[in-house]
Amino acid sequence: MQLLISVAGPAEAHAALRGGADVIDAKDPRHGALGPVSLQRLAAIRTAVAGARPLSAAVGDATSEEAVAGAVAAALSVGVAFVKLGLAGVTSEARAGRLAVAARRAVEAAMVTRLVLVAYADWPSAASLPPARVVAVAADTGAAGVLLDTATKRVPLFGVESPAAVAAWVAAAHAAGLFAALAGGLSGPDLARALSLGADVVGVRGAACVGGRTGRVSRARVAALRALAGAAPSLRVPIGRGALPQRDVKLAEIVGRDDEVFHAVRERA
């Protein structure tokens, strides 16, 4: 299982890298579950990561197709391997599909960037779709993976959903050809549980920080979490939907070629 550490800036990115994080995720924890960082901060984080690990970026919760396309395009101009899009406030599966398609179209030109749709375990509080329906939307719109998170951060994931329900959600994601990530106030003991439930990725912020979720990422805490996450096999990401031939691609492939592709994207911008 791979360990994703959410960072708010380049110093935290360095700490996460030195601690052994498998994926570096850029987000601003002061602005909710998927608060995006500024483009300047995202560029600084990318420079700090320097291609050593895949970089993902939270682009917030979808509000309109135009806003989604703009937010995704902005992240792509800096260069990321994954964009995470939430659906808080979206209760119609048809509308969720349109928003996801807008995001998917924005990432298609980048070739190495993949879309991850975020489901909220506390979906009534987020006025969002139930997690199972987000899996269906992700599969229908060609996303690479899904993340089960919490929107309010008042109660951790396993305080909202039972392990059996999370295991069923992970299995449904895998059956749909998606990778499955878990997050939402997870701490050390939760990582073994997430691993046992078949999660491909576990995302952590608060447990990796000194001073809680809005504190600073600690190298030592990341290292301890990395040990608890178990082995970190290459995450295989399906890319065969749409214009590309059906096959799997390892995250290492994405990292190995993203500089060339993203340079070309920036040159066209």
Reply yes or no on whether the pLDDT at 243 is more than 50.
Answer: no
What backbone phi and psi angles, to 5 degrees, belong to 261? -70, -45
- Write down the pLDDT at residue 236: 53
For residue 18, what are its two tokens?
A: 């030195």
pLDDT at 241 over 70: no
Return d(Cα 254, Cα 214) in angstroms, integer: 30
Burial class (CB in 10 A: 0-12, 13-18, 19+), 253: middle
Closest C-alpha among 101, 46, 55, 110 to residue 81:
55
5-9: which pairs have CB atoms within 8 A and are 24 or more residues apart? 5/203, 5/204, 5/205, 5/208, 5/217, 5/222, 5/225, 6/58, 6/203, 6/204, 6/205, 6/208, 7/45, 7/217, 8/37, 8/41, 9/37, 9/41, 9/44, 9/45
Instruction: Spot the catalytic one: 53, 84, 221, 226.
Output: 84
Please give the distance of CA 200 from its chain centroid, rounded to a whole number: 12
pTM higher than the cut 0.75: yes
Residue in 27, 104, 221, 226 annotated catalytic: 27
**Contact status, residue 213 vs residue 205, Cβ threshold 8 Å:** yes
Distance CA 17, CA 48 (A): 9
Structure tokens at 17: 């890298």
How confident is the model over 96-115, as a mean pLDDT? Answer: 89
Q: Which two tokens stand for residue 172?
A: 């449904």
48-85 residue pLDDT tens:
999 999 999 999 999 999 999 999 999 999 999 999 99
pLDDT score for 234: 58
Q: Average model confidence (pLDDT) for the chain?
A: 88
Per-residue tokens: 49: 């990561």
Q: Is 84 a catalytic residue?
A: yes
Pairwise pLDDT comparison (249 vs 169), residue with the higher score: 169
Give me the torsion for CA of 2, 252, 268, 35, rounded to 10°. Answer: 10
Comparison of pLDDT for 86 and 243, the residue scoring more: 86
Distances, alpha carbon 83 to alpha carbons 12, 104, 119, 211, in Å? 19, 10, 14, 27
In the residue annotation, 27 being an active-site residue is answered as yes
The whole-number average pLDDT for the span 238-253 is 37
